[in-house]
């Protein structure tokens, strides 16, 4: 087989990452983009884990037609039934059953014998098989499992109907050569392995998730589980964009293809970052803002003469368009619209008008408005489109003497206008207090960070915050050339998400 199946688990393992709460609509939006990206399998979630996950998987299964939709489940009858209920409307449904296999997990966590676990794995795969033909089984912590026992489990689950057997390096412990040997051992020692696809699922605790996955592929694995931007539990999962671009760029070595439309990578990466609130580090391979930026004179000289001197990938291949236009305060609506289209940012007429106004405001303050600025402006526009409360005005007085004071005006449901003021320890604190006096939903700020979208004193500042309410974490983002305004927008974004979740939950419980 010369094709590698790309199994995307951004919406399941990626979302599991601390604080990565996505709501149902956001999951659906990411799933639509994953389908455009061309992933073979979308792991939509873990339906038995929460009502929200069940609903998200159900909606994704109902809408997405090209990619297979997978639901993760514990190896117990009730959870498997729930997983099936969530994906039954999918065009290509898959159930993914997992159960720990290592002695460490068996003795300390499951408190079960190897025989019991083997029987449970076999029986639960058989149960999933009564619902659907496409069944995947994962022996959790496989890389720390006795290989002889692992072979026995794999043989048993394949006999019971598993069509994919996934080998997780759950704790990111493996080293490439060792992991490759494990995969080779599976091909040599599991008699019926030819009846299933061997998959791998690597975590990045030692920074080796991609290397381990690629070595497994070299040894015959034909499915890789991965996430956009490498997000996931702890240090994350193998990054989809790195796996796909390694296979493409080094086709000479692997001689393998994927179904991924690589020109959708950048857009998908930005969407995931935007909705999860996990920023992409500038030096991140393939999608980082510096990934195709050449700083040293000798490199710049080489790239100008011939890109291949220092560029192993064409940025356009991952969907980063070569900038032909630089926008500034004299740019008109037409150039603005055209540049957005080149960036793959499609806006409805009214959204476009609002984004253009925001662009003009920024262009008055900034000499050049870059692509990253435009993406940030459009993201800001999208965020405000579904607000319950909108920030209409903010005013702050602060300095090294006197008490920071903020006034805010919000537009609420039915266009009702609210205004209030507050004092604070600093200007952001004063703004947040003033907003709290109006909205009045108890919450705790757990994270606050500011970064600049581009270099330069006139750069747009982007603020990322997390707030917690009733044990649930909500992310908020805001952008503006003034970082106090950006902070206020980020807070409004988080509060609007919190209010929307509360509204959904109260409807659910009726």
Number of H helices, E strands in the chain: 18, 14
Task: Decide: is 20 part of the binding site for ligand KIV (CB under 6 A).
Answer: no
Task: Decide: is 186 part of the binding site for ligand KIV (CB under 6 A).
Answer: no
**Selection from 120, 83, 82 nearest residue 101 by Cα:** 120
Q: Are 156 and 183 in contact (CB under 8 A)?
A: no
The 8-class DSSP code of residue 315 comes to G
Report the sign of the C-alpha dihedral through residues 455, 460, 461, 464, in that order: negative
Task: Decide: is 105 part of the binding site for ligand KIV (CB under 6 A).
Answer: no
Quick one: 236 or 476, whose CB is closer to Zn ion?
A: 236
Quick one: 16 or 481, whose CB is closer to ligand KIV?
A: 16
Three-state DSSP class for 336? helix
Distances (CA, A) of 425 to 398, 404, 435: 10, 7, 15
What CA–CA distance (Å, rounded) separates 277 from 55? 22
Q: Are 430 and 487 in contact (CB under 8 A)?
A: no
**Selection from 90, 35, 33, 36 nearest residue 59 by Cα:** 90
Q: Which of the stretches 5-13, 65-73, 94-102, 412-420 binds Zn ion when contact is defined by CB under 5 A?
A: 5-13
Q: Are 454 and 463 in contact (CB under 8 A)?
A: no
Binds ligand KIV (CB under 6 A): choice among 98, 151, 266, 389: 98
CA 367 to chain centre: 33
Task: Decide: is 7 part of the binding site for ligand KIV (CB under 6 A).
Answer: no
Quick one: 59 or 200, whose CB is closer to ligand KIV?
A: 200
Kindly state the tokens that stand for 383.
Answer: 């965020």
Where in 47-86 is the site for ligand KIV (CB under 6 A)?
Answer: 72
Least distance between Zn ion and beta carbon 200 (Å): 11
Three-state DSSP class for 98? strand
Q: How many residues bind Zn ion (CB under 5 A)?
A: 1
Q: Which of the stretches 144-152, 166-174, 300-308, 466-474 binds ligand KIV when contact is defined by CB under 6 A?
A: 166-174
- With CB cut-offs between 5 and 8 Å by kind, which of ligand KIV, Zn ion, none does residue 269 bind? none
Quick one: 78 or 234, whose CB is closer to Zn ion?
A: 234
Q: How many residues bind ligand KIV (CB under 6 A)?
A: 10
Quick one: 75 or 291, whose CB is closer to ligand KIV?
A: 75
**Selection from 121, 148, 139, 7 nearest residue 71 by Cα:** 7
**Selection from 348, 372, 373, 347 nearest residue 360 by Cα:** 373
Task: Decide: is 371 part of the binding site for Zn ion (CB under 5 A).
Answer: no
- With CB cut-offs between 5 and 8 Å by kind, which of Zn ion, ligand KIV, none does residue 167 bind? none
- With CB cut-offs between 5 and 8 Å by kind, which of ligand KIV, Zn ion, none does residue 73 bind? none
Quick one: 72 or 156, whose CB is closer to ligand KIV?
A: 72
What CA–CA distance (Å, rounded) separates 366 from 347? 23
Q: Are 1 and 218 in contact (CB under 8 A)?
A: no
Least distance between Zn ion and beta carbon 102 (Å): 14
Q: For residue 449, what are the contacts with CB-CB under 8 A and spacing of at least 6? A: 463, 464, 465
Task: Decide: is 44 part of the binding site for ligand KIV (CB under 6 A).
Answer: no
- With CB cut-offs between 5 and 8 Å by kind, which of Zn ion, ligand KIV, none does residue 140 bind? ligand KIV
- With CB cut-offs between 5 and 8 Å by kind, which of ligand KIV, Zn ion, none does residue 138 bind? ligand KIV
Tokens 């705790």, residue?
Answer: 444
The 8-class DSSP code of residue 280 comes to P
Task: Decide: is 13 part of the binding site for ligand KIV (CB under 6 A).
Answer: yes
CA 329 to chain centre: 34
Least distance between Zn ion and beta carbon 97 (Å): 14
Least distance between ligand KIV and beta carbon 22 (Å): 17
What CA–CA distance (Å, rounded) separates 399 from 424? 12
The 8-class DSSP code of residue 452 comes to E
Tokens 């979302």, residue?
Answer: 15
Quick one: 239 or 443, whose CB is closer to ligand KIV?
A: 239
**Selection from 269, 227, 217, 271 nearest residue 248 by Cα:** 217
Task: Decide: is 170 part of the binding site for ligand KIV (CB under 6 A).
Answer: yes
- With CB cut-offs between 5 and 8 Å by kind, which of ligand KIV, Zn ion, none does residue 27 bind? none
Task: Decide: is 491 part of the binding site for ligand KIV (CB under 6 A).
Answer: no
- With CB cut-offs between 5 and 8 Å by kind, which of Zn ion, ligand KIV, none does residue 428 bind? none
Where in 126-165 is the site for ligand KIV (CB under 6 A)?
Answer: 138, 140
Quick one: 72 or 286, whose CB is closer to ligand KIV?
A: 72
Three-state DSSP class for 371? helix
Least distance between ligand KIV and beta carbon 6 (Å): 16
- 185 sits in which H/E element: helix 176-189
Task: Decide: is 168 part of the binding site for ligand KIV (CB under 6 A).
Answer: yes
Binding mask 8-27 for Zn ion (x = CB under 5 A): -----x--------------
Task: Decide: is 373 part of the binding site for ligand KIV (CB under 6 A).
Answer: no
Task: Decide: is 118 part of the binding site for ligand KIV (CB under 6 A).
Answer: no
Residues binding ligand KIV (CB under 6 A): 13, 72, 98, 138, 140, 166, 168, 170, 201, 203
């Amino acid at each position: 087989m010369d094709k590698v199946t790309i199994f995307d688990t951004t919406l399941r393992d990626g979302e599991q990452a601390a604080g990565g709460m996505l709501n149902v609509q956001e999951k659906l939006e990411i799933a639509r983009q994953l389908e455009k990206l061309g992933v073979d399998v979308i792991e939509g979630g873990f339906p038995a884990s929460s009502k929200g996950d069940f609903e998200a998987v159900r909606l994704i299964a109902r809408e997405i037609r090209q990619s297979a939709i997978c639901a993760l489940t514990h190896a117990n009858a009730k959870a498997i039934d729930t997983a099936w209920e969530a994906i039954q409307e999918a065009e290509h449904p898959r159930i993914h059953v997992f159960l720990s296999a290592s002695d460490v997990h068996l003795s300390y966590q499951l408190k079960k014998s190897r025989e019991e676990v083997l029987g449970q794995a076999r029986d639960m795969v058989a149960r999933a098989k009564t619902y659907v033909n496409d069944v995947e089984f994962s022996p959790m912590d496989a890389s720390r499992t006795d290989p002889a026992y692992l072979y026995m489990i794999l043989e048993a689950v394949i006999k019971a109907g598993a069509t994919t057997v996934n080998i997780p390096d759950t704790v990111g412990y493996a080293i490439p050569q060792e992991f490759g040997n494990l995969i080779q051992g599976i091909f040599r020692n599991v008699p019926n392995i030819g009846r299933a696809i061997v998959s791998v699922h690597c975590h990045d605790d030692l920074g080796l998730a991609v290397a381990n996955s690629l070595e497994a592929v070299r040894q015959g694995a034909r499915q890789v589980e991965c996430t956009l931007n490498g997000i996931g539990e702890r240090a994350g999962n193998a990054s989809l964009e790195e796996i796909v671009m390694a296979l493409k760029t080094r086709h000479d070595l692997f001689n393998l293809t994927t179904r991924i439309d690589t020109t959708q990578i950048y857009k998908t990466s930005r969407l995931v970052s935007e909705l999860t609130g996990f920023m992409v580090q500038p030096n991140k391979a393939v999608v980082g803002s510096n990934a195709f930026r050449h700083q040293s004179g000798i490199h710049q000289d080489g790239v100008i003469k011939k890109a291949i001197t220092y560029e192993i990938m064409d940025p356009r291949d991952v969907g980063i368009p070569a900038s032909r236009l630089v926008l500034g305060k004299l740019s008109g609506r037409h150039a603005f619209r055209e540049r957005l289209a080149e960036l793959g940012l499609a806006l409805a007429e009214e959204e476009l008008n609002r984004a253009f106004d925001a662009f003009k405001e920024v262009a008055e303050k900034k000499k050049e408005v870059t692509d990253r600025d435009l993406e940030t402006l459009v993201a800001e526009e999208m965020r405000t489109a579904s607000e319950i409360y909108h920030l209409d005005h903010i005013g702050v007085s602060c300095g090294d003497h006197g008490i920071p004071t903020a006034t805010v005006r919000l537009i609420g449901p039915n266009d009702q206008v609210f205004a209030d003021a507050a004092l604070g320890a600093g200007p952001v604190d004063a703004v947040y207090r003033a907003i709290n006096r109006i909205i009045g939903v108890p919450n705790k700020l757990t994270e606050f960070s500011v970064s600049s979208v581009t270099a330069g004193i006139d750069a747009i500042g982007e603020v990322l915050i997390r707030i917690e309410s009733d044990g649930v974490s909500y992310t908020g983002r805001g952008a503006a050339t003034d970082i106090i305004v950006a902070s206020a927008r980020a807070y409004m974004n988080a509060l609007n998400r919190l209010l929307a979740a509360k509204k959904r939950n109260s409807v659910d419980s009726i």
